[in-house]
Amino acid sequence: MLNSKNERELAYVVTIDEVTSIEGYDRVELAHVGGWTVVVGKGEFHKGDPAIYFEIDSKLPEVEPFTNMEFLAKKGYKIKTQKMCKSISQGLLMSARNFGWIADPISKSIYNDQKNEIYSIEDESRFLTKQLGVTYYVAEDNIRKSSSTADKYKSMARRHSKLFSHGLFRWLMRRDWGKKLLFVFFGKKKDKKSDWPVWVVKTDEERVQNMPWILEDKEPWVATEKIDGTSTTFTLKRGKWPRKDEFYVCSRNVVFDKSDKTCFYDNNVYLEMAEKYHIFDKMKQLLYNQFSDCEWITIQGETYGPGVQKRDYHAIEHAFMAFNFITSKDGRWGTEKMVELLQEQMDIPCVPVLDTNFIMPDTVEELLAYATAESVCDHDLREGIVFRSKDGSKSFKAVSNEFLMKYHQ
C-alpha cells in the first residue's frame, strides 16, 4: 500500500473484510483483506476485526513476537506469494494481542498502551513499517525502493557539524520534537544537482488488491504490459537566464548525474539508456518546440534486459520502454497520446499497449486472471498489467500471482 508520499508501506493496520472456509481443511480458513487473501488459523480472525497486515516482499525482523512463530523462522522471516491448502495466500496477518496491544473493532483501530498510541485505518497512523522494523526481503530493493536520501536531520547536523557538536544541540537531536524544532531554523539548504528534482513524482503504482473499489469504474481503460525492470526517469527543466537547463537521469529514488556514480548494477544502466536513445537531445527538441509554454517535461519508464531482474525478456542488451510522459502544464498524458508522441514521432519505445478500451470485471480474481498471460515481448510469462484511465489521471497495477510464485521465490 502506498502512503501519502507515494512510498510503499509493508506493514499496516487493516480490517478483516470476510473469513471463508477452505474446502477439505478444518484447521485453517481464508481471511480476506481488500483484494488480498491470507490463509490463517481457524477462528483466529473474524469479520470486522482490526489486524496488522504484512504485504508480500516483506522481511520481518528476527525479534519477538515474530521469533515466537516457528513457521516464519523456516521461511527466513520472508513474506511471499505462496500456494497453501489449495489457496493463494499473500501476506501475513497478525492480531493486536501478538504484540500485547488492544484491538477495537468499533473504531477500527489498535491501541498500544505501552506507548499510548492509537493506530487507526482512518489516517496514516495505520502504517507500521518503520516502527516494526519491516524491510524488503530482497536486499537490493531496500536500496532501490526505499528513500535514497539520508535522514534529513542527520544531513542537517552534518551541514552544521561544529554547531551541532555542542551539548544543547546533541540533547535536542535525541528528541523528536527537538529535531523538528532545529529543522525549522537549520533544515533549509540550497539545491544540488545530485538532489532529487522536486517537480518529479516518484514512480510506483498501487496494486489492485489495495483498491478493489476501482473495479466499479466501468469506463474504458487502457491496459499496458507491466515490464519487469528498473524504474527510470528523465526530466528536463528550462533554465532561466543565466542558469542552464537542468537535465536529470534517475532511478526510482536516486539521481545518476555522473557515469561513475555507484549503481545497483554492473554499469550505470540509467545513463546508458539516456545515451542509447539520445534522450537529452530529443527532450530539448520537445521542450523548445512543441512545449515552449512548459517549464519542464518528464519521461518515465522501465529499463530491462540482462542482469537487471530475473526476467530479462531474452534481450541481448539493455533496453528502455516509456510508460509516462508528463509536462508542467498538462500533467501526465494518456497512454495513447504518449505513444503517438514518443514512439511514433521521437523513436522512444513505449510499453506494449494490450487494449485501449478495457472494461473492468467485477472481481479482483477475474482481473488477476486476465493479468496472467504470455508477454508480447518474448511469449514467456508476463509480470502483469498496468491500467490507466484514458486521460492518464488514474492508474493502478495487477501483478500476476503465477509470475510472483515463479520469479519471486
pLDDT tens digits along 275-286 = 999 999 999 999
Cell of 311: 526476467
For residue 273, give every residue at least 6 positions away whose Cβ sits within 8 Å of its Cβ, in sequence order, or none.
232, 279, 303, 318, 319, 320
Sheet of strand 353-358: strand arrangement:
353-358, 221-226, 384-389, 395-399
**Residue 363 and residue 398 in contact, taking contact as beta carbons nearer than 8 Å:** no
Averaged pLDDT, 133-141: 76
Of the candidates 151, 160, 40, the residue with the CA atom closest to the CA atom of residue 93: 40
pLDDT band at 136 (very low <50, low <70, confident <90, very high): confident
Predicted pLDDT at 337:
97
Task: Decide: helix, strand or coil at residue 93.
Answer: strand
pLDDT band at 189 (very low <50, low <70, confident <90, very high): low
The answer on pLDDT for 409 being more than 70 is no
Predicted pLDDT at 203:
82
List, in sequence order, every residue forming a beta bridge with 39; answer none if it has no partner.
Answer: 30
**pLDDT tens digits for range 232-260:** 999 999 988 767 899 999 988 888 866 56
* Rounded Cα distance, 285 and 66, in Å: 55
Predicted pLDDT at 109:
94
**pLDDT tens digits for range 22-48:** 999 999 999 999 999 999 999 999 999
Quick check: bond before 65 cis, omega within 30?
A: yes
pLDDT band at 150 (very low <50, low <70, confident <90, very high): very low
Residue at grid coordinates 496494486? 207
**pLDDT tens digits for range 339-371:** 999 999 999 999 999 999 999 999 999 999 999
What is the amino acid identity at position 173?
Answer: M
* Rounded Cα distance, 33 and 10, in Å: 14
Mean pLDDT of the chain: 89
Residue at grid coordinates 503465477? 402
Percentage with pLDDT > 90 across the chain: 68
Residue at grid coordinates 504484540? 99
Tell me how many degrees the CA angle 221-225-32 measures, rounded to the nearest 5. Answer: 70
pLDDT band at 147 (very low <50, low <70, confident <90, very high): very low
Percentage with pLDDT > 70 across the chain: 91
For 154, left (φ over 0), alpha (ψ -120 to 50), or beta? alpha
Class of domain 208-407: alpha beta
Quick check: bond before 306 cis, omega within 30?
A: no
Predicted pLDDT at 268:
87
Phi, psi torsion values for 177, nearest 5 degrees: -65, -30
Averaged pLDDT, 177-186: 85
The model's pTM is: 0.80
The answer on pLDDT for 324 being more than 70 is yes
CATH 3.30.70 fits 11-137, yes or no: no
The answer on pLDDT for 160 being more than 60 is yes
**pLDDT tens digits for range 272-321:** 999 999 999 999 999 999 999 999 999 999 999 999 988 999 999 999 99
For residue 145, give every residue at least 6 positions away whose Cβ sits within 8 Å of its Cβ, in sequence order, or none.
8, 136, 252, 253
The CA–CA distances, whole Å, from 4 to 26, 125, 231 equal 40, 12, 20
pLDDT band at 148 (very low <50, low <70, confident <90, very high): very low
pLDDT band at 90 (very low <50, low <70, confident <90, very high): very high
Burial 46-62 (b: 16+ CB within 10 A, else e): eeebbbbbbbbbbbbee
Tell me how many degrees the CA angle 353-355-357 measures, rounded to the nearest 5. Answer: 135
**pLDDT tens digits for range 373-400:** 999 999 999 999 999 999 999 999 999 9
What is the amino acid identity at position 194?
Answer: S
User: What does the domain layout of the chain look like in residue ranges?
Assistant: 11-137, 152-186, 208-407
Averaged pLDDT, 181-206: 78
**Residue 298 and residue 234 in contact, taking contact as beta carbons nearer than 8 Å:** yes
